[in-house]
Amino acid sequence: MEILIGFGVVIILYLVIYFIPLLKRTKNLESKLAEGKDIKGYIAELDKMINKTKNKKYENFLMISKSSGLLALGKYREAANLLKLVDLGSLPNIYIVQYYNNLLYSQLMQENLNDAEALREASRKLLGKYEKQKSLKNSIKNTFATYEYYLGDLEKSQSMFEELLKDQNSILLYKIASHYFLGLIDLKKENKEQAKEKFEKVLNTGHNNIFFEKKAASLLKEL
């Protein structure tokens, strides 16, 4: 029992000394990611930190954070390839959840639907535990809403994206994703005027995501 208690104390001290400072060091970067106006700057700063560090666990944490930037920029294949290099090792669960959420989203946005379906099943229990956690819930909801669009219930997808739009804590990326997919749903329902309005909102947000911008502009030309 004393050994177990001692081991638990060591783990807690490790988290306090090592991982909590990580959150503080990347706080400003996370704000930049949330604003969505300088994603390339966010990625460049992370690259500097990755190249500088000699700590493998910190490097893996930074690579997961960089994958979030690549996803925000619309570079889904790059994000997936980067995540393949990550060694989850003894990273805390919150980073492991972010890893699987990012990987699942990258597969969905590349429309690698067989891989996405298998990954969703494999990570269902883990992601489910965190889908109401304040710092992760909208990120997970955005991924799940995208999953429902491609592989599940269209009405459920619509409801989830509408919830993201109403949520005041939802970052700009999730709002443009919501406008984009709700526009696609409108097209499926032959509501062309409503779809047009949503695609125009995608272009007017000022976010750096190149995927949604190009797709929305292309669809608007067809309407």
- Tell me the CA distances in angstroms from 218 to 76, 91, 179, 190, 223, one per residue in order: 19, 41, 15, 17, 9
Grouping H, G, I as helix, E, B as strand and the rest as coil, residue 36 is coil
pLDDT digits (tens, 9 = 90+) for 98-130: 999 999 999 999 999 999 999 999 999 999 998
- The closest of 131, 126, 129, 121 to 163, measured between CA atoms, is 131
At residue 21, the pLDDT reads 56
- Which CATH code for domain 10-222? 1.25.40.10
This prediction's pTM: 0.87
Block residue for tokens 């996370």: 30
At residue 27, the pLDDT reads 60
At residue 6, the pLDDT reads 30
Are the CB atoms for 69 and 46 separated by under 8 Å? yes
Are the CB atoms for 67 and 33 separated by under 8 Å? no
At residue 24, the pLDDT reads 56
Are the CB atoms for 59 and 132 separated by under 8 Å? no
pLDDT digits (tens, 9 = 90+) for 186-216: 999 999 999 999 999 999 988 889 999 999 9
Residue 64 host element (H or E): helix 56-73
Predicted confidence band of residue 17 (pLDDT cuts 50, 70, 90): very low
Q: Per-domain residue ranges for the chain?
A: 10-222
- The closest of 175, 101, 169 to 131, measured between CA atoms, is 101
At residue 113, the pLDDT reads 96
pLDDT digits (tens, 9 = 90+) for 126-148: 999 988 888 889 999 999 999 99
Q: What angle do CA 61, 91, 35 make, to 5 degrees?
A: 35
Query: Does residue 66 carry a pLDDT above 90?
Result: yes
**CA–CA gap between residue 174 and residue 218 (Å, rounded):** 20
- The closest of 82, 3, 80, 72 to 40, measured between CA atoms, is 72
Residues 6+ apart with CB under 8 A from 20: none
